[in-house]
Structure 1
């Protein structure tokens, strides 16, 4: 089976063109679930290794270019992924599935995107943010005053001192499973404003269950909240990720139209050996 791997800001994803349903045919033949498949392929050292896996499929509405099935590395399904969507768009563009202006179907709704520089830069228009609220938490003796917002998936955002040395995994995991965010939990972002247009971010991702080098919807959530809280006052907001790359988050005054833009890198194309799927 042909696969490809792309990364956006250090978030890496395995992409498969499943418009013919070949993945499901293979799973039926092998007698394994899609969750087992995703976990085996995404596991580092024994598999390909990635933060997630994306299946590109036929759209339900022919006005759209494609639909996707997005899976975190633990096999769970996510409604949306900002960096994953940018990688999916470049993959689809290079396969001739879409042109420079793109519309595709996700569980979070229809996503619009724009291909720039031949796919090396992709800008996506995310779904309208919702469920914003301020949240105060106390976890393991640490009091955090932050905010919650859904930018396609749920995110908690808090400003902390000394972000570089902050124990992201420890507190990220505690907040991710906190009763405040039951039953599905939340992604967790810790931020540090640098100037009136720039923030640094570190993210604990639900589904990956660890810190990742970047998170597109997390960068978006952090940029929006930073603007609302007055940490920054210029747009687009520049978000420096753990991986060191800069994502641009732009939005209108009402925050109804929100855009995420950044580089997408093609890592490799290859053929998946079914030997790693042995059970």
Structure 2
């Protein structure tokens, strides 16, 4: 199997061109092995680029635990760059993922991905919960770089309200009115990742700095910088949400599936 490794602000993925359908039968255990950083290739997630009628391609995403996952924002940006590198050349990409259709463009060498609209943000104690393609918990922290994200994130993710389905946990520091620092504990990886696209999107929506109208928020993560643009309507809904940042090919190689 020929594979390609990409990363988006340190969130890293194994990508496979599956337009011929050769790798559709990979098992949960095989994908988990591929993502293992000691015994496999190593990644936060695994993606198949599939053919899909009516779209430029289909994105099928698996978490590092081998299970098919919900939407991954950085993964979505990386698979657009991968599609471009594989010869799918478009001005605007239109693809389908588990949470529905997405558009994407390549701007100044970076990938801008349109995220799903968000209908509401739910208050939970003093924190916030919302779905940006994946479920996210957002908590404000005054000094996020000093926080034990693994310990605190795991505590929330496995608390009684979230243990069964899991939730991604984001800790957010407001650095400037339009700049946030975000660290994320991701379910499926069950650890902190260097960046989480749906997570930084969730953080940007929770800490919007204009009550209504257009917003643009700069995000700093362990793996680099992202921007989130969106429109907030008077009824509190969000639309025209775009996540933008780098998506970079790291290397390519081959691995025997018989050894998995």
Normalised by the size of structure 2, how large is the TM-score? 0.93
Q: Secondary structure at the match of 1:64?
A: coil
In 2, Cα distance between equivalents of 1:83 and 1:221: 13
Measured after TM superposition, the shift of residue 98 of structure 1 is 4.2
Q: Compared with structure 1, are the counterparts of its residues 228 and 198 closer, same or farther at alpha carbon in structure 2 (3 Å cutoff)?
A: closer
Measured after TM superposition, the shift of residue 182 of structure 1 is 5.4
Measured after TM superposition, the shift of residue 240 of structure 1 is 0.1
Indicate the structure with greater helix content: 1
Q: Compared with structure 1, are the counterparts of its residues 42 and 166 closer, same or farther at alpha carbon in structure 2 (3 Å cutoff)?
A: same
1:259 aligns with 2:242: yes
CA contact under 8 A between 1:7 and 1:13: conserved in structure 2?
yes
* CA RMSD between the two structures: 1.8
Q: Which residue of 2 aligns with 1:141?
A: none
What does residue range 75-90 of structure 1 map to in structure 2 within 5 Å?
A: 75-90=66-81
Which consecutive residues of structure 1, in runs of 5 or more, have no partner in the other structure?
A: 28-32, 137-144
Aligned with 1:177 (options 138, 158, 165): 158
CA contact under 8 A between 1:40 and 1:47: conserved in structure 2?
yes
Q: Which residue of 2 aligns with 1:241?
A: 221
Which consecutive residues of structure 2, in runs of 5 or more, have no partner in the other structure?
A: none
What does residue range 82-121 of structure 1 map to in structure 2 within 5 Å?
A: 82-117=73-108, 120-121=109-110
Measured after TM superposition, the shift of residue 229 of structure 1 is 9.6
Deviations 1:180-232 (A, max 9, x none): 235312100001001111010110001000000000000000011011698xx
Deviations 1:112-145 (A, max 9, x none): 111234xx41000001124420111xxxxxxxx2
What is the aligned length?
255
Q: Which residue of 2 aligns with 1:30?
A: none
What does residue range 55-70 of structure 1 map to in structure 2 within 5 Å?
A: 55-59=48-52, 62-70=53-61
Q: Which residue of 1 aligns with 2:111?
A: 122
Q: Which residue of 1 aligns with 2:186?
A: 205
1:23 aligns with 2:23: yes
